[in-house]
Amino acid sequence: MSDLGELYQEVIIDHSRSPRNFHELKEANRRADGHNPLCGDQISLYVLLKDNMIQDISFQGTGCAISKASASMMTESVKAKTTAEAAALFEKFHRMVTGEGNGMVNPAGLGKLAAFSGVSEYPVRVKCASLAWHTLRAALEARQATVSTE
């Protein structure tokens, strides 16, 4: 576990234990499901989209600490943002966790999401961390299909 020490930072543990926005959103007008078969993570995402803005967002699901914490922090990060802002945030986040930015992504612009920067060293965990974001994209694009990371 010591190798994962840095990965499971306090903020991630906190969000996995008491996920924010963890409920069904009755007034949601967008919905998508995500599945990461590699780890068994599952998420249902609810979005209330109005005038191209994410007015409200919530999720339900089961999975590992990383996937749950990521979903929790994603919902906090994109609430009250426009779809374009959310997409830009996803792109930054994705570059950070895949290591594509090669350390060039400034975590400052990601706020609390920077807690996931260590994930890039654990390729198997990248899908756990990005599942909620892929599911968000599907919900915003109004795709009905279930998203799979495979």
Site for Zn ion, rule CB under 5 A: 39, 41, 64, 67, 128
What is the nearest approach in angstroms of Zn ion to the Cβ of residue 139?
A: 20
What minimum distance in Å lies between the beta carbon of 80 and Zn ion? 27
Which is nearer to Zn ion, 48 or 64 (by Cβ)? 64
Cβ(55)–Cβ(142) below 8 Å: no
The closest alpha carbon to 114, from 3, 4, 9, belongs to 9
CB of 26 to Zn ion, least distance (A): 28
Q: Considering beta carbons, is residue 12 or 139 the nearer one to Zn ion? A: 12
**CB 53 within 8 Å of CB 81:** yes
CB closer to Zn ion out of 39 and 53? 39
Query: In terms of Cα–Cα distance, which of 54, 79, 66, 53 is closest to 19?
Result: 66
